[in-house]
């Protein structure tokens, strides 16, 4: 599988363009499930997609993605943080 869409999606999220990241990662479809053999690689893709969905205002889709993941395998507490509301203070970062 070509990994460039994942790298590009990470860059888009970091640049404040979550909709582009959502489109890139959604376009991967089932291919995303076949990335490598390590679960953490697939979870990075899912986490990036979930964060991008939240940032793009698609909270229901993000919740659905994480709900599926947390009900099909052992839950990680950091996943709750992915859906935590962002305030202007923590979006801008430290001053």
Digit-coded pLDDT (tens) for 47-73: 889 999 999 999 999 999 888 877 776
Number of domains composing the chain: 1
Note down the domain range covering 38. Answer: 4-87
Token pair for 65: 């993605």
Phi-psi region of 30 (alpha: psi -120 to 50; beta: other; left: phi over 0): alpha
Answer whether residue 93 is part of any domain. Answer: no
Return the ∠ at Cα 36 (arms to 56 and 29), rounded to 5°: 40
For the chain, the farthest-separated pair of C-alpha atoms sits apart, in whole angstroms, at 41
Answer whether residue 60 is part of any domain. Answer: yes
pTM above 0.85, yes or no: no
Answer whether residue 14 is part of any domain. Answer: yes
Q: Low-confidence residues of the chain, pLDDT below 70? A: 1-3, 29-30, 32-37, 73-76, 79-80, 83-95
58: Cβ contacts below 8 Å, ≥ 6 apart: 22
Answer whether residue 13 is part of any domain. Answer: yes
Asked if 22 and 53 count as a contact pair (C-beta separation under 8 A), the reply is yes
Answer whether residue 92 is part of any domain. Answer: no
Sign of CA dihedral 37, 39, 41, 46: positive
């Amino acid at each position: 599988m070509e990994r460039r869409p994942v790298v590009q999606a990470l860059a888009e999220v970091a640049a404040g363009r979550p909709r582009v990241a959502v489109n890139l990662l959604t376009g991967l479809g089932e291919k995303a499930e076949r990335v490598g053999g390590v679960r953490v690689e697939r979870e990075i893709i899912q986490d990036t997609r979930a964060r991008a969905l939240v940032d793009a205002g698609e909270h229901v889709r993000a919740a659905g993605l994480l709900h599926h993941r947390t009900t099909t395998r052992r839950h990680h507490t950091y996943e709750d943080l992915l859906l935590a509301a962002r305030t202007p203070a923590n979006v801008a970062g430290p001053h």
